Chain A
Amino acid sequence: MADIVLDKVSKSFPDGTVAVQDVDLEIADGEFVILVGPSGCGKSTTLNMIAGLEDISSGELRIGGQRVNDKAPRDRDIAMVFQSYALYPNMTVRENMAFPLRLAKLDKATIDQKVDEAAKVLELTSLLDRKPANLSGGQRQRVAMGRAIVRQPKAFLMDEPLSNLDAKLRVQMRTVVSRLQKKLGTTTVYVTHDQTEAMTLGDRVVIMRGGAIQQVGPPQELYDHPRNLFVAGFIGSPSMNFLHAAVEDGKLRTALGDVPIGDRIRRELEGADAPRELILGIRPEHFEDAELIDDEARARGMEFTAPADIVESMGSDKYVYFTVEGQRASAAELEELAADAGADFSGGGGNLVTRLSAESPVQEGEDRRVWFNLEKIHLFDPSNGRNLTLHEGRSAGTLGD
């Protein structure tokens, strides 16, 4: 058990690629931290540096208060679960799990006892004498976990451990991982690509982009108070809607109508170098069918009318896609996110994704009056992606003062 501290850690490869840049991160003892970000943002490299599989170019890494920059992986006492599982194919499940213990020169009885214990926790007891080739994907995954937990290391590192499983198994294994971590209370760093894993598993989530940390915090905080455009677009599924907004006469001209702004935002926009164009972000669940809104809520929001293109009824609620006219929101972050998701992120002049109550009688093809919550709106500066609605780490919509 130990805490892990990354102090201005950077990694540049011999070919000049800077994969990780000045990463500062403090992971408390027993904490479950998730690293997320688009492909190639340096998650694996960061993890490999913690593991000792990759040299640290500059900065300091401390585990349990001790500088370990120059220690070999075997001297760091941390276990890793690989995306590929990396089971030893020439050994049985039992031998695979016993391997770290045998290297640690434990006596046979202790090894057997520890392996049996770990096997029981992961429900592998009946498979102990099989070779990895004769296991299913989920079983192999559990063996890989078992090999990590048997020797009770200071920390677990997991690099996309579930990404090779099919969707159903992934959900199942997610709870296994979560329960195991709670039970063992071992410091864990978990790399993933998957939104849901990031939101549900960890105590804190670290969002990376291009080798740098964008924001660190509990999942809900990242969701509610994203520090910038990138975090806002990355977290959430379906993702936040982004619209182009022009600052005119103390109002924001958008495809959804003129959005009023509060004093604080107004002050921010009065500076000489303040942006004249903004990006407005609204999450799908902050829309509602105007028919279903009571007067009190109506006062906190705004309404617009748009044709409903597609209605997807999920039972509990309805995803409705509207077409709105107007300029496209454009920023480097949005393009990057779109490339990573393979989806269209640009809101304005395109689709608006909304999540309405199941009671909404909306029909495909009809024009519908829709309400949205002004208190939940985010405004971003397109030049640097900063969230302007964020005040002392909280976001209070456009009206906040």
Chain B
Amino acid sequence: MADTTTRAKLRWGLIDVIVVVFALVPVLWIASLSFKTPATLTDGKFWPREWTLDNYRSIFDTDQFVRALVNSIGIALIATLIAVVLGAMAAYAISRLDFPGKRLLVGVSLLIAMFPQVSLVSPLFEIERQLGLFDTWPGLILPYITFALPLAIYTLSAFFKQIPWDLEKAAKMDGATQAQAFRRVIAPLAAPGLFTTAILVFIFCWNDFLFAITLTSTERARTVPVALSFFTGESQFEDPTGAICAAAVVITIPIILFVLFFQRRIVSGLTSGAVKG
């Protein structure tokens, strides 16, 4: 018995390690490249022979990258906030109320999620130019919200469905007002769902390249993934690989911070024990 469990544990451990290595090696490779000097860049060694921070210095020397970083953070945060708030309201209605057109709403949001974004790029480009939204923050925030909303509604309604609504009734019986019941009982249980959704939506906005490259033209609204693709070396003859790698490492940091910050709030199984046995 004990023997099989140890063996099973070993087997699972091995599989886990393989998956993690498979996922992390490219990331580590990029990190390694970002610390290499131009001369050793192509030496094929995993561990840099000569460490340098020049690549990092160079990206922060130009205004280009910093501006893009500010754009990315601002746009992604605003889009996330709006999408999560709207999504929470929609998901609350979907999971708790019976209203005419509920299935239609769910169907339409699913449709939006499945719609190929590429086919929307040129119409959006035309529309935004007409409306003066082209190359502005709202010009990106709006499509991001559109495509993040179905995602938000889906994850949030899955979370909301898990909350036993008897708890709200119980709180009311215990003497709580509607607001107190929401704040002291429902909100703490809904929080992990909100945070999870926020992370997913933020990552979606942060990573987008397609809309960012078609709907921006200058530093006014250009986000980091696009800015990266415009990277050139200091001179025409310099290889930008090191700088691109450094920038790639830098832009993963906000995501990691964002996830770490919220992850502590995502205590899984928070609702267990509320009902039955």
Contact = CB atoms under 8 A, between A and B. Distances in A.
A90 B169 contact: no
Contacts of B52: none
A72 B167 contact: no
Contacts of A164: 276-277
Given A80-B170, A86-B166, A135 B175 contact: no
A86 B273 CA distance: 9
Instruction: Name the prevailing secondary structure of the A interface residues.
Output: loop
B188 interface: yes
Nearest to B185: A88
Interface in B168-217: 169-177, 180, 184-185, 188-189
B274 A87 contact: yes
Nearest to A73: B172
A82 B273 contact: no
B20 interface: no
B44 to A, nearest CB: 52
Contacts of A80: 169-170, 173
A184 to B, nearest CB: 17
A147 B272 contact: no
B118 interface: no
Interface string B156-169: 00000000101101
A87 B271 CA distance: 10
Given A132-B273, A133-B273, A86 B189 contact: no
Interface string A195-225: 0000000000000000000000000000000
Contacts of B166: 82, 84, 86
A326 interface: no
B276 A74 contact: no
Interface residues of A, number: 33
Given A74-B175, A74-B176, A103-B176, A134 B273 contact: yes
Contact of A100 (B175, B274, B275): B175
A86 B175 contact: no
A59 interface: no
Contact of A89 (B173, B175, B176, B270): B270
B116 interface: no
A153 to B, nearest CB: 9
B269 interface: yes
Contacts of A17: none
B244 to A, nearest CB: 45
A90 B163 CA distance: 12
B270 A90 contact: yes
A118 to B, nearest CB: 14
A104 B175 contact: yes
A99 interface: yes
A53 B272 contact: no
A137 interface: yes
23 contacts: A51-B169, A53-B169, A74-B172, A74-B176, A79-B174, A82-B169, A82-B170, A84-B164, A84-B166, A84-B276, A85-B276, A86-B167, A86-B169, A86-B170, A86-B274, A86-B275, A87-B275, A88-B171, A89-B273, A89-B274, A99-B174, A133-B273, A136-B277
Cβ-closest 8 pairs across A and B: A133-B273, A137-B277, A132-B273, A86-B170, A84-B275, A86-B166, A100-B174, A89-B274
Given A73-B169, A132-B273, A137-B277, 16 more contacts: A53-B172, A72-B177, A74-B175, A74-B176, A79-B173, A84-B164, A85-B275, A86-B166, A89-B189, A89-B274, A90-B270, A99-B174, A133-B269, A133-B273, A135-B273, A164-B276
